[in-house]
Amino acid sequence: MLDVSDEVRAEIGEEEAQRLLAGESAPGTYDCTSCRTPGNTSQERTSTVLFVGEETAVLAFAHATCIPSQIVPVSEQQLQGAVQSITSNGGSAAPSVAVAPSVPAAPVLAPRQAVLGITCGLVLVQGDVRPALVIEPTGPVARPGQGGPGDDFLPLLIEQGFLPVNDLSAPPSPLAGWSVLLAMGQLHAILQPGSAGAWWQAHQPLPVSEGWRQAVNKSNEVYVYAAPVGSIGQQPREDLLADALDRAARHGVLVGATMPLSGT
């Protein structure tokens, strides 16, 4: 019941992939690298997740309902920390194997060099605490192939399927094909449909709070909000973040979407 994606198979080699599928090198039980709860390769569908550093890689395992089989780029330091975390918690990881250096791709919205800032927070919607991501670029975003002083960040997102948010008391509309990748208790990427890959990817995976992890494991989905530069700002507390989101919504500069965790 093991799933080995084509990209993982290409990295580890056909021989090792066949050994995994035959059960020769797969663990019987494991701690899911996404939700950290126990799993069993012989009783439930299991994804192989290859964490790739600059010089080495580690193969870990996850419930197929949490994340799909895939390659996750991480730094070498984080990779070594992941090995210690997996083994110290009684989980299973395959031996490290040498791989070619992997460089995570940065999101490119437009030629103008704006960076997407992202904040993890909890929002209260319809009486429930929900996990949210708030995205705000560091500067105006131009449409690809165009210059000028304007900011096309919101129009570009609306063209991708994000919808304006006027009322924070209601959840944002679902966005088909998009998902949020959380692995090893850290935020890695926002994935877009098909072969386009990551719309946003962390240069270094971002740790999330225990409360955020508990909320997302309960709901299995994330509210993703976005606003132009200067609309939200750096907010040190979640109540201040909620106030900033509310102001952006009232001013008509907030869009949002509900996204599942990757693979769900």
pLDDT tens profile 112-126: 446 788 888 999 998
Cβ neighbours of 45 (radius 10 Å): 12
What's the CA gap between 116 and 107, in Å, rounded? 8
What mean pLDDT value characterizes the chain?
78
- The pLDDT value given to residue 203: 73
- The reported pLDDT for the residue numbered 55 is 67
Q: What is the pLDDT of residues 144-158, one digit of tens each?
A: 766 666 788 999 999
> Mean pLDDT, to the nearest integer, of 208-224?
90
Q: Among 31-35, 96-100, 189-193, where is mean pLDDT lowest?
A: 96-100
pLDDT in tens, 18-51: 888 888 777 788 877 766 678 888 888 888 888 7
What is the C-alpha separation between 207 and 210, in angstroms, rounded? 9
Q: What is the dihedral of CA 72, 9, 108, 185, to 10 degrees?
A: -20
CA distances from 11 to 51, 102, 103, 195, 256 (A): 11, 11, 14, 18, 36
Q: What is the pLDDT of residue 147?
A: 60
CA distances from 216 to 81, 129, 132, 185 (A): 23, 10, 9, 11
Contacts of 41 (CB under 8 A, 6+ apart): 1, 2, 23, 26, 27, 28, 29, 30, 61
Distance CA 190, CA 192 (A): 7
pLDDT above 90 (res 225): yes
108-122, 200-214, 237-251 — most confident range: 237-251
Beta bridge partners of 60: 49
Q: What is the predicted pLDDT for the residue at 103?
A: 29
Secondary-structure percent of the chain, ordered helix, strand, coil, rounded to 5: 25, 35, 45
Looking at mean pLDDT, say which of 43-57, 98-112, 199-213 comes out highest.
199-213
The domains of the chain are located at: 2-98, 116-260
Q: What was the pLDDT predicted at 80?
A: 58
pLDDT > 90 fraction of the chain, expressed in percent and rounded: 22
Q: What is the mean pLDDT of residues 219-239?
A: 89
**Gyration radius of the chain over CA positions:** 19
pLDDT of residue 221: 94
Q: Please tell me the predicted confidence (pLDDT) of residue 239.
A: 86
The CA–CA distances, whole Å, from 133 to 27, 157, 189, 205 equal 34, 15, 11, 14
Higher pLDDT, 175 or 60: 175
